């Protein structure tokens, strides 16, 4: 699909975010945080880059498909308070492995399970567009996790 045929504006600025797998029935975290980069973002979904697709014994693509209680969430924390956390439920729609001699990582496409005008989506787009500062301390804490 060409750029003129897309239904929403794309944001391609790399954004670091966490991916979690939760059991919504018990409100427990099954896997995560899995640090990832958002390299493509729209009002309807995102393209993620992860260094692993298996985490804590769960496949981040298949687990939500196999168990209706399992749900993936993208989370971004702006500050120290719980009210500064964006948590967006997502559905995985595709994944593939980018495998070369030096680096192995996964591309994961997810669809947002909230309305495109939801304040959480608006917040993610503002961050990706660079309209909201991402604290240096937050990034410095997250990047070492991604590089494990």
CATH at residue 128: 2.40.10.220
pTM higher than the cut 0.85 = no
Strand, helix or coil for residue 51: coil
Q: Measuring CA to CA, which residue among 133, 16, 32 is closest to residue 73?
A: 32
Mean pLDDT of 30-40: 92
pLDDT tens per residue across span 49-63: 999 999 999 999 999
Domain range for residue 10?
3-146
Which contiguous run of DSSP H or E holds residue 41? strand 28-41
Q: How many separate domains does the chain show? A: 1
Residues 94-117 have pLDDT tens digits of: 999 987 767 788 999 999 999 999
H-run or E-run covering 138: helix 136-146
Helix (H) or strand (E) holding 124: helix 119-128
Please provide residue 43's backbone torsions phi and psi, each rounded to the nearest 5 degrees.
-70, -15
Q: C-alpha distances in angstroms, 15 versus 41, 74, 76? A: 9, 12, 10
pLDDT given for residue 114 in this prediction:
96
């Amino acid at each position: 699909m060409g750029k003129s045929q897309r239904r929403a504006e794309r944001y391609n600025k790399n954004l670091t975010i966490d991916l979690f797998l939760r059991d919504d029935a018990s409100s427990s975290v099954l896997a995560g945080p899995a640090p990832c980069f958002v390299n493509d973002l729209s009002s309807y979904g995102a393209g993620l880059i992860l260094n692993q697709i298996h985490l804590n014994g769960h496949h981040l693509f298949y687990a939500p498909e196999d168990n209706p209680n399992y749900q993936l969430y993208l989370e971004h924390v702006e500050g120290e308070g719980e009210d500064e956390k964006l948590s967006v439920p997502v559905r995985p729609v595709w994944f593939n492995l980018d495998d070369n001699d030096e680096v192995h990582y996964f591309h994961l496409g997810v669809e947002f399970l909230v309305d495109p005008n939801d304040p959480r989506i608006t917040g993610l787009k503002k961050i990706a567009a660079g309209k909201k500062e991402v604290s240096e301390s937050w990034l410095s804490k997250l990047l070492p996790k991604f590089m494990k």
